[in-house]
Amino acid sequence: MTAPALATRLQTLQPSPIIQVANAARALKAAGKPVVSLSIGVPGFLPPAHVYAAAHQAVDADSGDYLPGRGSPALVQAFLASMAARGFAYTEAEVVAQVGGKGALFNLLLALINPGDEVIVPAPYWASYPEMVKLMGGVPICPTATAANNYKITPAQLQAAITPKTKAILWNNPSNPTGMLYTPAETAALAAVLAAAPQVWVISDDIYDHLIFDQGAKRAAHVLDSQPGLKDRAILVQSVSKTYGMPGWRVGMVAAPKLVVDALLALTSQSTTHLPAVPMAAAAAALAGPQDFLHAQTARLRAQRDETLAALAAMGLPCPMPEGAFYAFPQITPTFGKTTPGGTKITDDLNFCTALLHEALVAVVPGGAFGDAGAIRISYAGKGAELTEALQRLARFVGSLQG
């Protein structure tokens, strides 16, 4: 007997390739192979002790009741204060908690996108952006930022991508997958283009904005810095996953005009109801607590970035210098046409990554998942010794290619 059909909208949905690679690496590990994974974006550290204390307290103080869809009062207040510290004044009516940054983006697109609407997603992009847009019936429009331009789009490219059908732009700074960081001047130039396009929602996925290395600033530049008037259509997405080492706690936050927040509240009221109490208490403690541990983490990430870039340069794989987040996005085109010791002829990112996983036991994500099939994405935030080992294996693999 054949099963009844799935919904049409699922027919073209690509499951997250990042999660697929991570699962393949896990399966090999479970089979006893010493795989090192540089695939999924785990920040590689645990949150400070006061976060766990708040979680334990929340268990002890369980009310046995449902909680507000917007988020617990402590979480909402902690988020408002952290936004205020960044220079962005929001009120309670303009913020809402969601199931991670990913859940926030999913619900935002559900709330904003009609079939046929265009959404500008600069490439290389985070793999989920275009898939989410397509799931809503929208059309991703992807101006491409090349490695030669340090993976940054220009204001002219942004301008050219805007049409009467453009409903939103969805982007992040710094970037997953490239680690690219727009400077304040570059951000201002892009913001000026958006200021002249009043029909466009500006969705900024700011979840890596604390994790920046070189600009002498504590947080990444934002379009609202130079164009505060964009606040009426700017939607800011935050998460505790990367900044506080809490990806498993699944707490994301949105700051946006009340119209958008009310739409998210309505969606939440008919779907997940609210976030669980314990993660909310932990996230509130993370946001409200001392932030000084971040210096140590960004210093560690910067050192691992430097180690990764030096190794890639020695391998002859060109890679623009990442200035934030914890990813490197080297071009692997110099290996195309060569053959591995196991007999695979490298022709694209997919068979490069498959051969690397099976022959060298290193997991990285094919760049095609992010819109550039000539690259791979390396997540370098894991344990230092594992990173060193994985880079050595990658170097041996690249060095062993013949032809």
Which residues of this chain interact with ligand PLP, rule CB under 6 A? 41, 100-102, 126, 172, 176, 205, 207, 239, 241, 247, 252
Residue 281's contacts (CB-CB under 8 Å, 6 or more residues apart) are: 54, 55, 57, 58, 72, 74, 75
CB of 41 to ligand PLP, least distance (A): 4
CB of 247 to ligand PLP, least distance (A): 5
CB-nearer residue toward ligand PLP: 228 or 247: 247
Q: For residues 359 and 23, what is the distance between their CA atoms, to the nearest angstrom?
A: 17
Q: Work out the widest C-alpha separation in the chain, in whole angstroms.
A: 67
Residue nearest to ligand PLP (CB): 100
CB-nearer residue toward ligand PLP: 69 or 252: 252
CB of 245 to ligand PLP, least distance (A): 11
Q: For residues 394 and 388, what is the distance between their CA atoms, to the nearest angstrom?
A: 10
Residue 258 buriedness (CB in 10 A; 0-12 / 13-18 / 19+):
middle
Q: Bridge partners of 239?
A: 252
CB-nearer residue toward ligand PLP: 213 or 326: 326
CB-nearer residue toward ligand PLP: 122 or 289: 122
CB-nearer residue toward ligand PLP: 205 or 349: 205
Q: For residues 94 and 102, what is the distance between their CA atoms, to the nearest angstrom?
A: 19
Cα 338-343-344 angle, rounded to 5 deg? 60
CB of 129 to ligand PLP, least distance (A): 8
For 46, 95, 151, 241, 331, the CA distances from 287, given in Å and listed in that order, are 14, 14, 31, 11, 36
Three-state secondary structure call for residue 209: coil
CB-nearer residue toward ligand PLP: 246 or 401: 246
Give me the helix-helix angle, 73-86 and 277-288, nearest 10°. 30
CB of 346 to ligand PLP, least distance (A): 27
CB-nearer residue toward ligand PLP: 320 or 355: 320
Q: For residues 133 and 201, what is the distance between their CA atoms, to the nearest angstrom?
A: 14
CB of 402 to ligand PLP, least distance (A): 36
CB of 106 to ligand PLP, least distance (A): 9
Q: Do residues 248 and 45 touch, judged by C-beta distance below 8 A?
A: no
